[in-house]
Every structure is written in C-alpha cells, then in structure tokens.
Amino acid sequence: MDLIGRALEMGQGALDEHESKDFLAGYGIPVCREALAADPVSACELATRIGFPIALKACGPALFHKTEIGGVALNITSEARTREEGERLLTLPGCKALLVQEMIIGKRELACGMIRDEQFGPCVMYGLGGVLTELLDDVSFRIAPFEFEDAYEMIGEIRARAITGSYRGEPRVDMRALATILVELGRIGVVHREISAIDINPLIICGDGTPVAVDALVLLGARGGQDLHPRARYATEANA
C-alpha cells in the first residue's frame, strides 16, 4: 500500500515530514537527505553516516508546529549534542521518531504549495519562504493543471522576483527545476483528490542554484481552511 493509502487507513490527517518528503520525491521534487531514528543512539549513527552538521527534528503525523514547540535543533556538529537533543525531542507531545537531516546551506528561501479551493479546485502557490511568506504577502497562484510557461510566469509575478537571479555571488536559480516543482505540485493536486494541501517551506536555494525542499507537509482529506496548517490556511485566504 502506498504512503497516502496507508495514512488514510490509519486515520491520519496528514503525512509526517519524512513521509511528506518521500511522497514528493516520488514526483521528482528535490528533497534533502534524511533518515528516521527511533532513539538517540540510532540518531548518532545516522548523523555520522549523513555527515555533520545536521538538523534534528521531532517527527510525527500530528506535529504541524515543530518550531513553536522547540521541535527543531539546527547546526548540530557532534554526537554528544545529537544524543542530548534527541533525548529532549522524544519528550515532546506527538514525537514518534527523530528525523536526522543534512543541513542545507543557502542564503535564499522560497515557499510553494498546493491548496484545494472549494470553488477552483487545486491551486498552486509560490512566493518567498520562511517567515517572509506571511509577513510580506508576496505570493502568486495558478489553478492546476498548468504548463511550464505558466510556472515561469508565476515565478516572475512576485515583487521579489529578483531573488531567482544572480545575487551577491550566488548563481541564478535553476529555473527549470523550480518550474518543475510548481508543475508537479499542480499535477499532484489533480491526481490525488484525497490531498487537501501541500506546504513546502522553506525551499532553500543551494550554492549551485538548485532548489531543495527542507521542510514539507502533506495534509489529507477534505478539510476546511480552519483545520489547515497555518501557512496552508494563509494561502487559502489569500486566494479567496
């Protein structure tokens, strides 16, 4: 059984972060290298295999607000701190496992996602990432499905469109890869009607210009906007 089917059978309202990125990777969306650990000892083994520095996160299908509850530890550079943070994270409500993730280094953060609007159906959102998504309200939308030409137009519609160009020694963003992510999000929305929303934030631009999904959430079921993750709910309201 696939990830979506298994999650629905178990009554989950969402895929956890690791499952979400695994699902998106199946559609060719680039995601960071990561693995799940059941305990701090296993987390240390995985961290050594992935290579320090790492990010360590609490993981579970009900953990929509990891940052707010202290569920994310960044720039971990040793096994000792991996064990310490792992023990702490496992005490958090809803934490079922530890997500050991490579640290993606990049100066630019974008966001994109899909929301299922009651009137228009699946719609794809693109804009600035991190806290700037909600703070600056700089986003663009398209009703799915759409073609690459539409994706390129989306990228050029935000006020901060210069962020995808060469910037302070950083190369131009791989526009084809970025457009592909948006097109594939639209395709997912059309094919998987059981998905109510997808949130990728941040989508970090690596040093070679490649966009990589560092955090992602896939919400399931026909849910109203009040039940959505805050960033997905924000996108729904912006599209109204």
Q: What CATH number is attached to the domain comprising 223?
A: 3.30.470.20
Q: Residue 209, SS3?
A: coil
Exposure string (b/e) for 130-167, b if CB count within 10 Å is 16 or more? eebbbeeebbbbbbbebeeebbeebbeebeeeebbeee
Please count the structural domains in the chain.
Answer: 2
Q: pLDDT-based confidence at 47, cuts 50/70/90?
A: very high
- Please give the helix or strand (H or E) that residue 48 lies within, else none: helix 40-50
Asked whether residue 96 carries a pLDDT value surpassing 50, the answer given is yes
CA distance 152 to 142: 11
Overall average pLDDT of the 219-229 stretch: 55
Same-domain status, 194 and 232: yes
Overall average pLDDT of the 135-149 stretch: 93
pTM, entire model: 0.89
Same-domain status, 122 and 71: no
Q: pLDDT-based confidence at 17, cuts 50/70/90?
A: very high
Asked whether residue 238 carries a pLDDT value surpassing 80, the answer given is no
Per-residue model confidence as pLDDT tens digits over 97-124: 999 999 998 999 999 999 999 999 999 9
Q: Could you give the percent of the chain with pLDDT greater than 90? A: 82
Same-domain status, 52 and 146: no
CA distance 141 to 207: 27
Q: Indicate whether 44 belongs to any domain.
A: yes
Asked whether residue 80 carries a pLDDT value surpassing 50, the answer given is yes
Of the residues 102, 135, 155, which one is the last residue of a structural domain? Answer: 102
User: What HEC string does 110-176 produce?
Assistant: EEEEEEEECCCEEEEEEEECCCHHHHHCCEEEEECCCCHHHHHHHHHHCCCHHHHCCECCECCCCHH
Give me the CATH number covering residue 65.
3.30.1490.20
Q: Indicate whether 24 belongs to any domain.
A: no
Asked whether residue 228 carries a pLDDT value surpassing 50, the answer given is no
DSSP-derived pairing of the beta strands 216-220 and 14-15:
antiparallel
- Please give the helix or strand (H or E) that residue 37 lies within, else none: strand 34-37
Query: What does each C-alpha distance from 157 to 129, 167, 209 come to in angstroms?
Result: 15, 18, 20
Q: Indicate whether 197 belongs to any domain.
A: yes
CA distance 61 to 112: 20
Task: Cis check for the bond before 93: say yes or no (omega within 30 of 0).
Answer: no
Is 77 within 8 Å of 167 (Cβ atoms)?
no
Same-domain status, 83 and 110: no
Same-domain status, 95 and 157: no
